[in-house]
Structure formats: structure tokens, C-alpha cells
Amino acid sequence: MESLVPMIPVAISATAALLDAATARLRLSTRWPDPVSAFAYRMFAASGLPPPSFASFCIAGPSASALRITPEIAGYGYLFDQLDDDGQQVWRDAIDHLRGREIYPPDRQTFAFNPVEILGVAAGLSKLPLDDDRRSWLVDAIRRGFAGSHFRTPMSAFGARVAVAVLDPDALKYIPDSLIDYPALSTTELLLAAGIDLAFRALAPLQRDTLESEILSRTLTLEVAVNDAAEAAAAYILALRIRDRTLAPKALMDDLEKVLILCRRFPLLSDTLRRRYAGRSAFEVTDEYDVQDLLHGILRLHFDDVRPEEYTPSYAGKHSRVDFHLPRERMVVEAKMTRKGLAQKEVIDQLLIDVGRYSKMEHVDTLVCLVFDPERKCVNPKGIEADVEDSGGRLVVRVVVCPQPV
């Protein structure tokens, strides 16, 4: 473990560079939707993160003529559940037309060998009823492709196998395992594999760890280029995960780092609770009390002594409840949730008042403020974080506004 410590600053710097490159690429204009941008959107949605700005534009309904080419079918497949009834019918008709084509032509110029495209088609088909024969058509076609040794590259085989898993997991027993030699892949292929896993949870935990380790290794030795929105999405999400998981393992994290990571990942917990299986009622985070309750439970998993409802000294003639006091760590953790009447200006005003109050607590050295902003009422979250953190004086102040758009 001691040998890892000197590497932490280098790894942080490399990961920050990857995050910056990915962010810059995601902010560039891109065609929306197309297979690459829709695939990127799928990664963000599956990771519980707000989508890139290009995905904020309305989705133009597909036309029958546009869907004559498979890339367009794949792009709209990723977004099938966002199409209206007419758009969904046009997409189904396009699949029927696709079924009449030869999937494995001699020149190999077909969607079957392009992981982004075959998975876009599978993503759309997965929204159809289980007994829809369009689903079984693609599964049977992929089985035929493996039987005929058509999938000759690791990534084409991986994409096809994941497409089967999306449509009919029981059919995987007829598909060869795709054991990937990650060090042998190009960086572009690594980011593609990571993107498929982010979008479809395709890898076992050990495989995922191996993949992330290889990408981290590349960032330490090479300048990783991000060539399109999909690569940028994978790089962005992975950089966040590497920063939070790999670069700050429990044995190396100080208490402040641990709390900041838990706050940054709070939207992932909220999103997971909202999306439950088997028709069960969602656990909705609807107000600040819900945020406080969830945060209390999270903190108790990681700290032995968490004391809610401590009271601050008088400041400006008022008293205020501290959300959570961690006495051993000499830290206060506060939770807020934006709402009508509590947007960016009001959040800043409240936080500045709180900083003044907590700075008078001699037994507290650090204040962490979680601002949960699910409706994006804070137009400049980075500005909030910077302005409030600079106001702390002797008190160490850290603010996490989440989720944040790219």
C-alpha cells in the first residue's frame, strides 16, 4: 500500500486530464440523434448522471426514408421509449425492412459487426413485447453469425453477445463466451468496451475492474484521445469512477474525501431507489427531509458516531439545526434540496449564512454542504461551490451541488 501512495498525485493528474478532454468533447456540437450520440446518452442515463447538453434538444421523429439505413435505425433504437406512437411504428416498420436484408454479406459492411449499431437495434427491440418475433429474429441471426464464425474481432463478438443478453438472456447458453484480452485492445476499443458496460451492465465485477485498471494504466502513460461523443461519454463517466473509487481507496482516503465522494454519488442512490423492479413502488426523494434521511443512513454506514440535530450558537439572533455532526472528525454535514423558492440565489444566501454560523463552533473544523438539485434550478453549480467555499475563513468549507450537467 505504501508504494501506491506516491502514485496518487500522478494518477489524479492523469485522470483530471482525461476528464477535461472528455468534457471538452461532450460540449462540442454533434448530430442528435445519431448512433454515437444516442449511445452516449444511454451511458449517462444508465449511470444516473444528467445527459450532455446536446441531448437537451428535442428528438425529431424518424421518417421512413431516414430509417432506410441501419445507423439511423440504431440511433433511434437507443431512444425508442422517447418516441411517440407514430415514431415507434415507423421504427418497427424499418426493422421489418431490415429483416429482409442479408446480415452477413461478403464485404462485412453491415450493422452486425458494428457494436454501437447492433446494440442500438437491440436496445429498441428490447422495448417490444417479449413475444414479438422481431426480438427473436435478431437473437437467431446472431446465433447464426457465431455458428458461422462471422464475428472475428473481440469487439464485434462482444457487442453481438451483449445484444443477445439484452433481448434473451437464456439464449446466451448458445453463444460462446467472449473473454477479452484488454491489454491487447487499442484505447479506442477499451473505451468502446467500457461504454458498452456502462450502457448495459455487460461485465462481471472482476472483468470491469480489469478494464478500468487498464484504462487507468493508459492514462498514466499516454495522452488518451477522445474522438467522438461516445468515447467522451465513456471517458467522462470512467474518470469520475476512477477518481472516486480507484484513486481514493478506503485505506488512503481521509474523512473529508470520503464524505465528498458519498455526496457526489448521492444522485446514483436516489436514481436507484426510484427505479425498482417487478412494479414495486418507487422510493421518491421529494423534499429536503428525504435527502436528510438518506444521507443520515449513508453516513452511518461509514462513520461510527453521527449525531443529527445538533444546535449551533446564536448567530444574527437565530439558532439553526445542524443536519449531522461527526464529532470525532470535527465535521458538520448539511443537506439541502432545491425547490420552488430555493434556487441558485437563495441557496447561496442560505449557505453563506450557515458558514458564518458554523464558523463559531469551536469544535467543528469542516463543513460539507450537499445541495441536491434534481430539477437543475442551479444554473451555475460550479459557481456556487467556488463562491461558498471561498467564504469559510478558518472553517474548511466544501460544497457539492449534484447532479451536474456536463
pLDDT for 96: 95
Average pLDDT over residues 10-27: 84
pLDDT bucket at 196, cuts 50 / 70 / 90: very high
CA dihedral 116, 122, 126, 127 (to 10 degrees): 70
Among 199-208, 273-282, 362-371, the least confident range: 273-282
* Angle 59-110-165 from CA coordinates, rounded to 5°: 70
The Cα 51–Cα 354 span in angstroms is 31
Look-up: residue for cell 437467431?
Answer: 140
More confident residue, 196 or 377: 196
- CA dist., res. 60 & res. 356, Å (int): 50
Instruction: Tell me which amino acid residue 106 is.
Output: P
pLDDT at residue 5 in the model? 47
Q: Please give the pLDDT value at position 75.
A: 96
**Which of 336, 338, 333, 335 has the alpha carbon at shortest distance from 378?**
338
How many other C-beta atoms are found inside a 10 Å radius of the C-beta of residue 125? 23
Question: Going edge to edge, which strands form the sheet with 396-402?
Answer: 307-311, 321-326, 331-337, 366-372, 396-402
* Residue 279 pLDDT grade (very low, low, confident, very high; cuts 50, 70, 90): low
Q: How many residues does the chain have?
A: 406
Q: Taking a C-beta distance cutoff of 8 angstroms, is the pair 402, 371 a contact?
A: yes
Residue 292 region, left (φ>0) first, then alpha (ψ -120 to 50), else beta? alpha
C-alpha cell at 41: 446518452
